[in-house]
Structure 1
Amino acid sequence: MRMADLKSVQLHWREDGSHDGHVVVFANSLGTDLRLWDKIIPLLPIDYRLIRFDLRGHGLSSCPSGPYSIDELVSDTEDLMDHLDVSSCVFVGLSIGGMIGQALAARRPDLIKSMVLSNTAAQMGDAKLWQDRVKAIGSSGIEGLSEQILDRWFGPDFRDHREVNAWRNMLTRTPVEGYVGCCLAIAEADLSLTTQTLRLPTLGIAGTMDGASPPDLVRDTINMIPNARFELIEGAGHLPCVEKPAQYADLLTEFLKETFR
Structure 2
Amino acid sequence: MHIADLKDVRIHYRIDGEADGAPIVFANALGTDMRLWDPVLPILPKGLRVIRYDKRGHGLSSRPTGPYSMGSLVRDAEQLLDYLNVKDSIFVGLSIGGMIAQGLAVKRMDQIRALVLSNTAAKIGTANIWQDRIAAVRTGGIEALADATMDRWFSRAFRANPEVALWRNMMTRQPVEGYIGCCAAISGTDFYTPTSGLRLPTLGIAGSEDGSTPPDLVRETVNLIPGSRFALIRKAGHLPCVERPGDYAEQLGRFLTETGHI
1:37 aligns with 37
Q: Distance in 1 between matches of 2:57 and 2:20?
A: 30
1:217 aligns with 217
Q: Equivalent residues in 2 for 1:24-173 (5 A)? A: 24-173=24-173
2:18 aligns with 18
Q: Distance in 2 between matches of 1:18 and 1:169?
A: 31
Q: Distance in 2 between matches of 1:43 and 1:241?
A: 11
Q: Distance in 1 between matches of 2:28 and 2:35?
A: 9
Q: Distance in 2 between matches of 1:144 and 1:129?
A: 15
CA deviation string 1:88-111 (max 9, x = no partner): 000000000000000100001110
Q: Distance in 1 between matches of 2:252 and 2:146?
A: 29
Q: How many residues align?
A: 261
Indicate if the aligned counterparts of 1:199 and 1:226 stay in contact, CA closer than 8 A. Answer: yes
TM-score (norm 2): 0.99
Q: Distance in 2 between matches of 1:8 and 1:197?
A: 30
Q: Distance in 2 between matches of 1:217 and 1:182?
A: 20
Q: Distance in 2 between matches of 1:132 and 1:245?
A: 32
Alpha-carbon distance, 1:144 to partner: 1.4
Q: Distance in 1 between matches of 2:46 and 2:6?
A: 28
2:254 aligns with 254
2:234 aligns with 234
Alpha-carbon distance, 1:260 to partner: 2.1
Q: Distance in 1 between matches of 2:145 and 2:108?
A: 36
Alpha-carbon distance, 1:145 to partner: 1.2
1:190 and 2:190 matched: yes
Q: Distance in 1 between matches of 2:41 and 2:227?
A: 27
Gaps of 5+ in 2: none
2:6 aligns with 6
1:175 aligns with 175
CA deviation string 1:151-184 (max 9, x = no partner): 1100111011111111111000000000000000
Alpha-carbon distance, 1:7 to partner: 2.8
Q: Which 4+ residue blocks in structure 1 deviate beyond 2 angstroms? A: none
Q: Distance in 2 between matches of 1:3 and 1:163?
A: 29
RMSD of aligned Cα (Å)? 0.7
Indicate if the aligned counterparts of 1:67 and 1:182 stay in contact, CA closer than 8 A. Answer: yes
What percent of counterpart residues are identical?
59
Alpha-carbon distance, 1:46 to partner: 2.4
Counterpart code for 2:201? P
Q: Distance in 1 between matches of 2:45 and 2:132?
A: 42
Counterpart code for 1:103? G
Instruction: Give 3-state SS (helix, strand or coil) of 1:260's partner.
Output: coil
TM-score (norm 1): 0.99
Gaps of 5+ in 1: none
CA deviation string 1:22-63 (max 9, x = no partner): 100000000000000001110012210000000100000000
